[in-house]
Structure 1
């Protein structure tokens, strides 16, 4: 009886693995600072590498690793120069988010809307040079990502993707005595390749 149970268990596990679906992809697009962060940073770009594992037919879990880079806001330089008579020579802001993802895909047609939630660590760094003085700092903060978009199947195992992502974090950048959170609205375009085995 024990042998029969083990055989049945191996069969079920083997069937699950044989029907598992892995996918991976990349996406890129503009990263727009939101809220108070837009006083510091201008529109930049974002790049994300993603992996997904289908735990149910329409439910994926996975991992995202990204990179977001922004320069300074146009008004930041003019305010420093006109109000304080200080020259801003450099301002760079970057974020490397590493997040776990849950994603639900609606339907099974060629065009499939999806919604997702991410949670993880955001590695934030900034460099600001004012006149001859330069300040660099980095921190690790908690952040989330709320995503909505569509997948469109262009081949048996290949999708193109368009998505909108809102990514707020906890306080990450020190400006004077104040901590500013890094918050982006990202518009992403990319591809996702599905591997069935």
Structure 2
């Protein structure tokens, strides 16, 4: 399913990449588990791709596809990973070179918990991710809070827009 989703995204990207209203953001992130999730898992890293379509000068709709890995807090707990697929909305407060933004995503998180005391498990959860940050040219510096049942995590993003309208 992951490969099929990637192929669909690539086809859509190539079909409309010539359109000035379309752009893609690629990025990396650091993750900090919160609440009960922090009791079992430690800091994590990840990456994401987010194709976006500008429906106005200040408003973009997109599809965020992200992959995150979290380390276990001790040797008995192996790393956990998540695949996030979230339709998103982003509002930029201006069209200047440096502009703050707010946004949110709403969608599915597919978790794989590796091995916790010898038992492996997976979980699919519905989640919400409010976010805010600043665009500096094509660079994105942002933060998102992923609210996913009892698997919440704070995410620090560093991204770059390619195939950009700017």
TM-score scaled by length of structure 2 = 0.83
Structure 2 residues not aligned, in runs of 5+: 1-17
The structure-2 alpha-carbon separation of the partners of 1:129 and 1:60, relative to structure 1 and needing over 3 Å to count, comes to closer
Work out which of the residue numbers 148, 161, 164 in structure 2 matches 1:192: 161
- 2:142 corresponds to: 163
Of structures 1 and 2, the larger Rg is shown by 1
Using the alignment, how far apart are the partners of 2:27 and 2:126 within structure 1? 22
Partner of 1:95: 82
Of 135, 139, 147, the residue aligned with 1:151 is 135
Rounded Cα–Cα distance in structure 1 between residues aligned with 2:68 and 2:19:
35
Q: Which of these residues, 86, 101, 106, is aligned with residue 114 of structure 1?
A: 101
Deviation at 1:19, TM superposition (A): 7.1
**Whole-Å separation in 2 of the counterparts to 1:34 and 1:42:** 9
1:10 is aligned to none
1:136 counterpart residue number: 120
Deviation at 1:188?
A: 0.7
Residues in 2 aligned to 1:101 and 1:163: alpha-carbon distance in whole angstroms: 14
- 1:46–1:186 Cα contact (<8 Å) kept: no
| Residues 26 and 162 in structure 2, CA contact (< 8 A), matched pair in contact too | no
Paired residues of 1:21 and 1:194 also in contact (CA < 8 A): no
Aligned partners of 1:52 and 1:62 also within 8 Å: yes
Hey, what does 2:23 align to over in structure 1? 23
Q: Which runs of 5+ in 1 are unaligned?
A: 1-17, 78-87, 154-158, 171-180
**Equivalent residue number for residue 45 of structure 1:** 45
- Counterpart CA distance in 1 for 2:116 and 2:145 is 29
Moved over 3 A (4+): none
- Offset at residue 89 of structure 1 (A): 3.6
CA distance in 2, matches of 1:41, 1:129: 10
Separation in 1, partners of 2:42, 2:57: 40
- Structure with the higher strand share, 1 or 2: 1
Q: What secondary structure sits across from 2:41 in the alignment?
A: coil
The count of corresponding residues between Structure 1 and Structure 2 is 148
